[in-house]
Amino acid sequence: MYKMLKLMAVGLVAALGTVLAADNVTWSITSPGGIDSSNTPMLVGLAFDDNTYADGVNWFLDFTKDLKNKDGSPVRATYFIISGSSETDHLNAPNNQTTTELKNSWIRAYKGGYEIGDHTKYHDPLEDGADSTYWSTAITGCKTELASYGIPADSIIGMRCPYLGYGAGAFEAIKTEGMLYDCSVETGYNWNQIIAGYGFDSSGTWVNVPAIVYSESNAQGSKYQYFPYTYDNGPAPGSTAKTSQPMPGVWELPVQAVRFPATVPTDLSNIPDTDPVSQNPTGLDYNCWKICTTKDEFLNAMKYSFSLHRQGNRSPFYLGMHSDYYSNYNADVNADTSVDHFAVSLADRRAAIEEFITYVLQFNDVRCVPFRDVVRWMQNPQPTGTYVAPAQYGTWDAIPIVNQKANLASAKTTGVSHMTRTNASLNVQHPGTYRIGLLGLDGRQIYSGIQDMGSGSQTVNFGKTLPSGVYMMTINGNGEKVNKAVAVDK
């Protein structure tokens, strides 16, 4: 038993195992942590790019605000935002919205527990060859602008490059600017192959099986997609990577091709490896809607691709979307005369997304989560029976961010001197405004607040009585970010 008030003045590595360990994870089709695929949570990562129409953002917030996974955790998603779209001279003109309404939709998402990600400030096209200085400006410009709206810059830890365009300069900047993950590298096309011989099975035996070759007539490949990996050694084999520039410690969540069945199987729970596949577009909604003529065609492809993941190794399934395509005012996709016009109506596009999420939520092993949670599960993998997806994000800045430039290892000016089940005492050397966060080991927010503090001993009241156990406290202020693992007994 931990003694009361015993403070573990160590990093979270000791308290949380792998959560703050230096991440260096090789690409693999094997579930991490020695967890058998049958006990691996089926993570469904939800994300939206661009987000330049308030009504498109708000549609999904309204639909999911009360939705729950089977473990009771809320269904949430990531919004990769083009921050400059909120500026008057960049605001989409014919969309019946003001800059305030657009910004408020982003703030609503943040406060509602949805992750906010970086999609650069202005979404400049196809800057594959731009240097790291260009990309750093694009990344920090987005974070700074969003911070001015009340979304803390250090809570923005995920990146999607515009148009999936990137090069060595982009990846150098993503690492330098402290991003935890990227999701711009494509994989899973019919001319690719997955090499299966990297990783251990549940018994600790090295996996050594033949490569799985993608084919238009073979559904097997999508049953064994890569789990997320860190970009220490460049892209996984079979990726359409535009650079091998390493990003040590930065996670890559691949953009996986969607599989369109030649004929929809009558039993999605038992799809043969040899089931014929007709098309393999990039795993984003734009690419899929452009080839669909009906709602059911899109919906069936999503169900089919998801089912292949779930029947195989249960690598995460990503649903990459653009909230702009679900706006009433986006003439680019709604108008019949537009080159980007979708054949499927707005009402049916929205219905397809809603029906797909409703479909996957019927399964006990499914967790619909933001991309950040996919990474967090990889850092601390747990089997389905014990894994509970975190409940909140937005008002909680205590996420373990291993790649931030801020000091996470030690408290230079501020530290925890005393903690009970109702409050904590801090030693503060420099007066100022501090943001305090407290997490349980399951990743759930226990407390989050902003407090003005003088020098010397300062008290933080949690407003509740905590159970005995180990907690993680973060202290943000005066340019520092401090993590402490703290244990309290009865």
Q: What are the pLDDT digits (tens) for 93-133?
A: 445 688 889 999 999 999 899 999 999 999 987 667 789 99
Classify residue 165 by its DSSP letter: -
Residues of the chain with pLDDT > 90, as a percent, come to 49
pLDDT of 241 above 50: yes
Give me the mean pLDDT over the 243-258 stretch. Answer: 92
Give me the mean pLDDT over the 173-181 stretch. Answer: 94
Is residue 317 within 8 Å of 366, Cβ to Cβ? no
Considering only CA atoms, which of 474, 398, 459, 450 is closest in space to residue 428? 459
Tokens 């089931």 — which residue?
Answer: 275
Residue 197 pairs with which residues in a beta bridge?
none
The number of residues in the chain equals 490
Give me the mean pLDDT over the 316-332 stretch. Answer: 94
Q: Which tokens is 398 given? A: 């205590």
Give Cα separations from 412 to 50, 408, 481 (angstroms): 39, 10, 10
Residue 399 is predicted with a pLDDT of 32
Residue 211 is predicted with a pLDDT of 52
| Domains annotated on the chain, with CATH | 7-15+408-488 (2.60.40.3080), 24-379 (3.20.20.370)
Residue 76 is predicted with a pLDDT of 96
Q: What are the pLDDT digits (tens) for 32-70?
A: 989 999 999 999 999 999 999 999 999 999 999 999 999
Residue 143 is predicted with a pLDDT of 96
Is residue 413 within 8 Å of 475, Cβ to Cβ? no
The answer for residues whose C-beta is within 8 angstroms of residue 439's C-beta and 6 or more apart is 396, 398, 445, 446, 471, 472, 473, 474
Q: How confident is the model at residue 191 (pLDDT cuts 50, 70, 90)?
A: very low
Give me the mean pLDDT over the 332-351 stretch. Answer: 91
Which of 8-22, 299-313, 407-421 comes out lowest in average pLDDT?
8-22
- 190 vs 194, higher pLDDT: 194
Residue 16 is predicted with a pLDDT of 28
pLDDT of 355 above 90: yes
Which of 87-101, 136-150, 244-258 comes out lowest in average pLDDT?
87-101
Residue 424 is predicted with a pLDDT of 84
Q: What is the DSSP string of 15-76?
A: HHTTTTSPP-----SSPGGG--GGGS-EEEEEEEEE---HHHHHHHHHHHTT-B-TTSPBP-
pLDDT of 203 above 60: no
Residue 218 pairs with which residues in a beta bridge?
215
pLDDT of 159 above 90: yes
Q: How confident is the model at residue 77 (pLDDT cuts 50, 70, 90)?
A: very high
State the Cα angle at 446 between 450 and 400, rounded to 5°. 80
